[in-house]
């Protein structure tokens, strides 16, 4: 026993070690996987965002080109510029620029240009697209790339445009959410840092040659500009005739892309560390609170299983389920010790072993549920379910102990003359609700039968028989009770159309703790056998598997010689 108690004292340590192995290691692994997953997701998100930006940029260029062409059509069709003199047309062009959000508008006929004051001759002969496209314009004396919309009407041509180097870049950055720059041949650039080193400039020039010569984008490039690392997509910038002008650079800096990743990793590690520390602390405390009473109960159960009834059960003073269980254990211990002292149970060792076995089952369930509460990944709903299991199994243990006490410490029947028919009707009426709820038919065929019997003990026999029949009978089945008096004997038969009892189990049905039910105690028929025997009667069971079961009780009518003379 000392060795057992010493081993049980280690349960708390074992619970903590199991928690660390089962909970902490996967938790740390999950943290590592989560951070790596977040990192990969952000990397993929960067590439995806740049590709989406490229798609949105291309769509924007097309939509904006169509809009510019529509503006060109409007200013040419309504004579808003060509019918005015030069000064008036320039003033009108300024109004149109502000209202339409463009950089320049004009109409021209050969060398005659009316409209925007910042545009001289905006194109070489034959260089303007048919509808819209990128071309080079002379803006304030400088050749600059622009997206222009064009409309022709007779000898006149209407033009509306946006400079790629200024407003178009700003619009694209706002639309795509990334940094947009343009790099032209001749090292002219807009939207790039001013403090580029010669090495950085040379690298960009190499990219410019690759992009303009091959005419295809370069994806997922890494570069340094102005002291910051960038992820970049490089797109060739061509005129509407396919002439290479330079390249567009769509970029996301390290500060934009990886700052959130670093922050998330740091907070992730901090939160997980605090969570682990809190979990271990709570786990240690909860393990102690739960394991200690379970250890002491387990020690008591093992002591009882070994036939030692002198060890008093602790915790009987508690006013919760554990206290109720402890008091039930103590009553059981006292009852077994009394039964041992009187030597009325010839098979006390076998009964004790059976009881310990039956006790261990719900105790094991309680222990597993308690260990499940230690798992921090359990949801609140799962924790409530585990607590319900502990309460339910405690009540089950309490009933088991109470039934065992009744069996192990029987009291002589207090026989009083009465109507067995009336008692059967009362019990059947009390069970009627459960029977009808399950959809089972109840049949009673009762003759009047007056005989001496202990009303409480026979009520217990009838309830146990009804419960067995109710458990075995499926929906749509039948349960019947017949009571027949013949001369000096009364025959009470209770039958059902349930699943029956296998033949190999028939010899064990009256053995204590033998049961085929998942939640049964195995004491119902044993108690019924003892009570009927004490009344001088007999009880037998006849069953066919798949057909049903009938229990027959024979009781003497008079106080004379019993039908069965119990030993002792």
- Joined tokens for residue 114: 């009316």
Q: Are 290 and 297 in contact (CB under 8 A)?
A: no
Q: What pLDDT is recorded for position 557?
A: 86
* DSSP per-residue letters across 244-258: EEEEEEEEEEHHHHT
Question: Is residue 565 predicted with pLDDT exceeding 50?
Answer: no
What values do phi and psi take at 132, rounded to 5? -155, 160
- Read off the DSSP letter of residue 167: I
Which are the contacts of 489, defined by CB distance < 8 A and separation ≥ 6?
554, 555, 556, 557, 563
CA atoms within 13 A on the CB side of 199: 5
Return the residue matching tokens 């049964």.
520
Distance of alpha carbon 402 from alpha carbon 302, whole angstroms: 19
Q: Are 443 and 481 in contact (CB under 8 A)?
A: yes
Q: Are 358 and 522 in contact (CB under 8 A)?
A: yes
pTM of the model: 0.40
Q: Are 120 and 126 in contact (CB under 8 A)?
A: no
Q: Are 494 and 532 in contact (CB under 8 A)?
A: no
Distance of alpha carbon 168 from alpha carbon 161, whole angstroms: 10
523-546 per-position pLDDT tens digit: 678 888 888 888 889 999 998 888
Q: What pLDDT is recorded for position 129?
A: 85
266-292 per-position pLDDT tens digit: 656 666 666 667 666 666 666 666 666
196-253 per-position pLDDT tens digit: 777 888 888 888 888 878 877 777 677 776 667 777 888 888 888 888 888 888 877 7
Q: How far is CA 525 from CA 445, 509, 551, in A?
A: 23, 7, 10
Q: 508 or 346: whose pLDDT is higher?
A: 508
Which are the contacts of 134, defined by CB distance < 8 A and separation ≥ 6?
61, 145, 146, 147, 148, 164, 237, 238, 239, 240, 245
């Amino acid at each position: 026993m000392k060795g057992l108690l010493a081993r049980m004292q280690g349960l708390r340590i074992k619970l903590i070690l199991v928690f660390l192995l089962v909970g902490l290691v996967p938790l740390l692994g999950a943290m590592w996987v989560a951070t790596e997953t977040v990192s990969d997701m952000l990397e993929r998100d960067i590439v995806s965002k740049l590709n989406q930006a490229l798609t949105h940029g291309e769509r924007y260029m097309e939509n904006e080109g169509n809009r510019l062409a529509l503006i060109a059509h409007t200013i040419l069709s309504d004579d808003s510029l060509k019918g005015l003199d030069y000064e008036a047309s320039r003033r009108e062009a300024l109004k149109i620029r502000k209202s339409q959000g463009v950089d320049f508008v004009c109409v021209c006929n050969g060398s005659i240009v009316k409209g925007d004051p910042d545009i001289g001759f905006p194109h070489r002969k034959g260089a303007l697209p048919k509808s819209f496209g990128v071309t080079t314009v002379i803006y304030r004396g400088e050749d600059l790339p622009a997206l222009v919309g064009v409309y022709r009407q007779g000898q006149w041509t209407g033009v509306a445009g946006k400079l790629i180097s200024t407003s178009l870049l700003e619009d694209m950055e706002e639309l795509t959410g990334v940094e947009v720059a343009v790099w032209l041949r001749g090292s002219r650039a807009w939207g790039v840092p001013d403090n580029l080193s010669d090495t950085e400039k040379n690298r960009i020039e190499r990219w410019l040659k690759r992009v303009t010569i091959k005419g295809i984008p370069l994806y997922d490039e890494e570069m340094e500009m102005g002291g910051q690392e960038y992820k970049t997509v490089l797109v060739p910038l061509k005129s509407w005739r396919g002439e290479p002008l330079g390249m567009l650079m769509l970029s996301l800096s390290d500060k934009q892309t990886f700052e959130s990743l670093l922050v998330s990793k740091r907070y992730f590690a901090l939160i997980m560390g605090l969570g682990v520390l809190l979990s271990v602390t709570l786990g240690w405390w909860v393990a102690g609170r739960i394991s200690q009473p379970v250890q002491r109960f387990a020690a008591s159960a093992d002591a009882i299983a070994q036939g030692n009834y002198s060890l008093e059960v602790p915790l009987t003073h508690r006013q919760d389920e554990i206290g109720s269980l402890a008091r039930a254990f103590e009553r059981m211990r006292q009852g077994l010790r009394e039964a041992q002292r009187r030597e009325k149970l010839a098979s006390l060792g076998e009964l004790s072993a059976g009881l310990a076995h039956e006790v261990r089952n719900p105790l094991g369930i309680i222990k597993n549920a308690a260990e499940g509460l230690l798992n921090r990944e359990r949801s609140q709903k799962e924790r409530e379910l585990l607590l319900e299991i502990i309460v339910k199994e405690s009540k089950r243990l309490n009933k088991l102990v109470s039934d065992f006490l009744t069996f192990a410490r029987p009291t002589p029947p207090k026989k009083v003359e009465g109507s067995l028919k009336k008692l059967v009707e009362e019990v059947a009426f009390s069970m009627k609700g459960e029977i009808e709820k399950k959809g089972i038919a109840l049949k009673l065929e009762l003759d009047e039968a007056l005989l001496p019997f202990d009303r409480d003990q026979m009520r217990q026999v009838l309830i146990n028989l009804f419960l067995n029949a109710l458990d075995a009978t499926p929906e749509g089945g039948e349960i019947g009770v017949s009571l027949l008096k013949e001369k000096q004997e009364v025959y009470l038969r209770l039958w059902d159309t349930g699943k029956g009892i296998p033949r190999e189990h028939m010899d064990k049905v009256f053995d204590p703790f033998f049961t085929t039910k998942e939640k049964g105690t195995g004491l119902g028929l044993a108690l019924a056998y003892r009570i009927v025997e004490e009344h001088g009667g007999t009880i037998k069971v006849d069953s066919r598997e798949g057909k049903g079961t009938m229990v027959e009780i024979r009781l003497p009518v008079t106080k004379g010689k019993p039908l069965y003379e119990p030993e002792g």
